[in-house]
């Protein structure tokens, strides 16, 4: 290459460098602007989701406050009243704070002060109802704190109940408006992102047309010139002696390569009509084919079966220009079935002369291994299905036993008490006031027993604590009730003051697992002391049940899948998997058992 060519190439590369830098900067700026816009919108949407969450929480707090007021209105126990009054006052303060933050904005919560006209009108409309509820609840709690029992309290309760329904309706409208506005923001963000995407694609198209395509042509031209110069230099640099030596070395290398291919690879050269030009020694041994004594086609050499030959001939006919790669199953002359990974590569020797280079790999052992793996997988699947059938039947059996137990409890306990209540009511003689008074007192006691029985039955089915207050409160209630019913020492500790609500499916499964563990400790381990501990980290909720029972050998029980104890452990594992948790069993015969449930939160 002369100096003018070099100078011209240098100038061209400088221009290309500048164009590339411009193109990359354009793409970088577009991506940066897109990310900034997305982050801004995501931040705005996080604020919207928090506002919608707080708005929904306001509805819950209004219902909770009304519930607390109603409880205080019907309960006269002074000791419990203090606790309930304190709880109701805390609810009012939180309710007022949230409503003020929603209406006027709050910097710490990230709530905007400016709102749409629709939201402002809705907050103006809801404010009278909110103020009436707050005012009436505050006066009612003040009366209760002073121990005043007046008719005005009933009027205050009616004011709260009247305005509470209206407040829920209007708060639903506010939540709907927030949701509508958030949807509009998301729609706008989506359109903006599509616009940025379209602009980016346009930039890439322009760069391809005006930068990459011209660059490719110039590089190809330059490489062609360089290759030409290289060939010319090699031709001038080498003399006849060097060329002869190079040829001799090449022949030696070809011989070595040919020997290696003959003895290591299954390869063959095939003409377009299917006849064998050359077949490697190792390939001919595998097929028991002698090229010096036979002139069979490639398909006939591979297999004596006509169906397999037709398949191979069809591949040769259709793929001789494009090549082919795949797995084939053939039967050799000694009736041995083998699998080959076969590749056909079209090779041009001279102008208008071509052939196929066929390279094979014997994958028979691999195929056998795959079939064995498939067989084992099928067996494992069958075992799992059988195990699942056993689990399902056991679950149905346990459900039936539980239903029978509850039905018997209602029939033998509550049913008989109701029958006694009916007969006692029928036997009351109002003319005999003394006996009537005695029977009425008896009926009061019987009614309390019936209420207690109904509560016990409903508690076993679905504890109201779980849906109203969450897992912590329901576990505390569970241990308290079971301790009273059994007379055993059952205690609950919330070690890390966990107070969050979880998904309802997660909470009911945690409750049932804990209930199952405690019942097992009472029923099978003869435990007199049971401790339930709850703790948590930012990502994990842990529940530990310790008992001082007789314990068991964990490994031996897990092997007995058909026994009641073995199925009990299996049921716990199956149930904990539904909520992506894990269970650990630690037990020492004669000393006690520890069961640990870990659930992600």
**DSSP states of 331-379:** E-TTS-EEEEEEEEEEEEEETTEEEEEEEEEE-HHHHHHHHHHHHHHHH
**Chain length of the chain:** 601
CB-based burial label for 9 (10 Å; 0-12, 13-18, 19+) = middle
The candidate with the shortest Cα–Cα distance to 394, out of 577, 556, 520, 571, is 571
Tell me, what's the pLDDT at 600?
94
Average pLDDT of the segment spanning 281-287 = 83
Say if strands 529-536 and 489-494 run parallel, antiparallel, or are unpaired: parallel
Predicted confidence (pLDDT) per residue in 243-269, tens digit: 767 666 666 766 666 666 666 678 788
Sheet holding 276-279, edge to edge: 276-279, 266-270, 353-362, 337-350, 324-331
DSSP H helical ranges for 238-328: 240-264, 281-287, 298-302, 306-319
* Highest mean pLDDT, choosing among 454-458, 551-555, 590-594: 590-594
Tell me, what's the pLDDT at 237?
74
CATH class of 465-600: alpha beta
Q: Report yes or no: 564 and 520 within 8 Å, Cβ to Cβ.
A: no
Task: Look at residue 191 and tell me whether its pLDDT is greater than 70.
Answer: yes
Task: Look at residue 178 and tell me whether its pLDDT is greater than 60.
Answer: yes
Q: Which CATH superfamily is domain 263-362 in?
A: PAS domain (3.30.450.20)
Report the mean per-residue pLDDT for the chain: 80
The candidate with the shortest Cα–Cα distance to 47, out of 103, 92, 106, is 106
Residue 232 in tokens: 């010319």
Residue 20 in tokens: 């590339």
Residue 430 in tokens: 């109002």
Tell me, what's the pLDDT at 374?
85
Tell me, what's the pLDDT at 472?
94
Tell me, what's the pLDDT at 161?
85
Average pLDDT of the segment spanning 479-508 = 91
Average pLDDT of the segment spanning 451-466 = 67
Average pLDDT of the segment spanning 552-559 = 79
Average pLDDT of the segment spanning 470-476 = 93
CATH class of 3-216: mainly alpha
Tokens 């100038």 correspond to what residue?
11
How does 553-567 read in b/e, with b if 16+ C-beta sit within 10 Å?
A: ebeebeeeeeeeeeb
Tell me, what's the pLDDT at 230?
80
d(CA 487, CA 522): 11
Tell me, what's the pLDDT at 174?
86
Average pLDDT of the segment spanning 336-352 = 83
Predicted confidence (pLDDT) per residue in 397-429, tens digit: 555 555 555 656 565 556 666 666 666 676 676
Task: Look at residue 295 and tell me whether its pLDDT is greater than 90.
Answer: no
Task: Look at residue 206 and tell me whether its pLDDT is greater than 80.
Answer: yes
Split at pLDDT 50, 70, 90, the class of 156 is confident
Average pLDDT of the segment spanning 129-150 = 81
- Among 234-243, 453-462, 548-557, the minimum mean pLDDT is found in 453-462
Q: Report yes or no: 543 and 517 within 8 Å, Cβ to Cβ.
A: no
Q: Report yes or no: 545 and 531 within 8 Å, Cβ to Cβ.
A: yes
Residue 448 in tokens: 């309390």
Task: Look at residue 530 and tell me whether its pLDDT is greater than 90.
Answer: yes
What's the distance, Cα to Cα, between the start and end of the chain in Å? Answer: 71
- 3-state class (DSSP) for residue 295: coil
Q: What is the H or E stretch that residue 196 is in?
A: helix 151-207
d(CA 544, CA 523): 18
Quote the pTM value. Answer: 0.34
- Among 133-147, 289-303, 410-424, 434-448, the minimum mean pLDDT is found in 410-424
- 3-state class (DSSP) for residue 338: strand
Task: Look at residue 389 and tell me whether its pLDDT is greater than 70.
Answer: no
Task: Look at residue 91 and tell me whether its pLDDT is greater than 70.
Answer: yes
- Among 168-182, 220-234, 353-367, 561-575, the minimum mean pLDDT is found in 561-575
Average pLDDT of the segment spanning 42-50 = 67
* Highest mean pLDDT, choosing among 122-131, 144-153, 242-251: 122-131
The candidate with the shortest Cα–Cα distance to 98, out of 144, 136, 65, 121, is 65
Average pLDDT of the segment spanning 218-228 = 82
d(CA 103, CA 112): 9
Tell me the Ramachandran region of residue 297: left when phi exceeds 0, alpha when psi lies from -120 to 50, beta otherwise.
beta
> What are the φ/ψ torsions at residue 63 (nearest 5 degrees)?
-65, -40
């Amino acid at each position: 290459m002369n100096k003018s060519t070099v100078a011209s190439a240098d100038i061209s590369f400088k221009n290309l460098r500048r164009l590339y830098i411009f193109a990359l900067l354009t793409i970088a700026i577009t991506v940066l602007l897109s990310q900034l816009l997305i982050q801004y919108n995501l931040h705005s949407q996080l604020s919207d989701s928090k506002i919608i969450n707080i708005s929904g929480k306001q509805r819950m707090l209004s219902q909770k406050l009304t519930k607390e007021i109603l409880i205080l209105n019907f309960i006269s126990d002074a000791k419990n009243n203090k606790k309930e009054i304190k709880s109701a006052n805390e609810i009012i303060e939180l309710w007022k704070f949230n409503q003020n933050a929603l209406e006027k904005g709050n910097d710490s919560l990230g709530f905007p002060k400016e709102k749409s006209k629709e939201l402002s009108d809705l907050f103006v409309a809801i404010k009278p109802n909110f103020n009436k509820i707050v005012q009436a609840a505050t006066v009612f709690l003040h009366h209760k704190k002073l121990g005043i029992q007046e008719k005005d309290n009933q009027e205050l309760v009616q004011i709260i109940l009247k305005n509470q329904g209206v407040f829920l309706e209007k708060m639903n409208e506010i939540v709907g408006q927030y949701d509508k506005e958030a949807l509009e923001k998301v729609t706008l963000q989506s359109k903006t992102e599509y616009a940025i995407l379209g602009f980016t694609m346009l930039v890439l198209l322009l760069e391809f047309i005006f930068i990459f395509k011209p660059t490719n042509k110039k590089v190809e031209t330059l490489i062609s010139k360089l290759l030409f110069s290289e060939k010319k230099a090699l031709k001038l640099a080498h003399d006849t002696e060097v060329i002869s030596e190079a040829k001799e070395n090449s022949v030696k290398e070809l011989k070595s390569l040919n020997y290696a291919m003959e003895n290591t690879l299954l390869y063959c050269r095939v003409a377009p009509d299917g006849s064998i030009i050359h077949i490697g020694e190792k390939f001919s041994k595998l097929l028991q084919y002698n090229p010096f004594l036979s002139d069979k086609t490639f398909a006939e050499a591979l297999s004596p079966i006509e169906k397999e030959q037709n398949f191979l001939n069809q591949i040769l006919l259709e793929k001789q220009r494009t090549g082919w790669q795949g797995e084939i199953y053939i039967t050799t002359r000694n009736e041995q079935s083998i699998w080959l990974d076969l590749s056909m590569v079209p090779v041009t020797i001279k102008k208008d002369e071509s052939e196929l280079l066929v390279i094979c790999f014997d994958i028979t052992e691999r195929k056998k291994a795959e079939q064995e793996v498939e067989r084992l997988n099928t067996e494992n699947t069958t075992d799992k299905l059988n195990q699942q059938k056993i689990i399902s039947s056991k679950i149905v059996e346990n459900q039936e036993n539980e239903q029978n137990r509850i039905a018997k409890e209602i029939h033998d306990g509550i049913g008989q008490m109701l029958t006694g209540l009916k007969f006692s009511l029928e036997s009351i003689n109002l003319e005999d006031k003394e006996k009537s008074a005695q029977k009425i007192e008896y009926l009061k006691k019987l009614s309390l027993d019936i209420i207690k029985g109904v509560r016990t039955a409903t508690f076993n089915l679905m504890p109201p604590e779980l849906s109203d207050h969450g897992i912590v409160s329901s576990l505390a209630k569970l241990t308290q009730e079971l301790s009273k019913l059994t007379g055993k020492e059952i205690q609950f500790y919330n070690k890390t003051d966990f107070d969050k609500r979880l998904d309802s499916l997660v909470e009911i499964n945690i409750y049932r697992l804990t209930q199952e563990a405690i019942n097992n400790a009472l029923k099978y381990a003869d435990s007199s002391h049971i401790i339930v501990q709850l703790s948590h980290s930012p990502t994990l909720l842990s529940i530990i049940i310790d008992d001082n029972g007789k314990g068991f050998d964990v490994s031996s029980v897990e092997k007995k899948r058909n026994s009641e104890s073995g199925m009990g452990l299996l049921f716990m594992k199956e149930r904990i998997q539904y909520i992506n948790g894990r269970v650990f069993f630690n037990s020492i015969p004669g000393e006690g058992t520890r069961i640990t449930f870990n659930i992600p939160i």
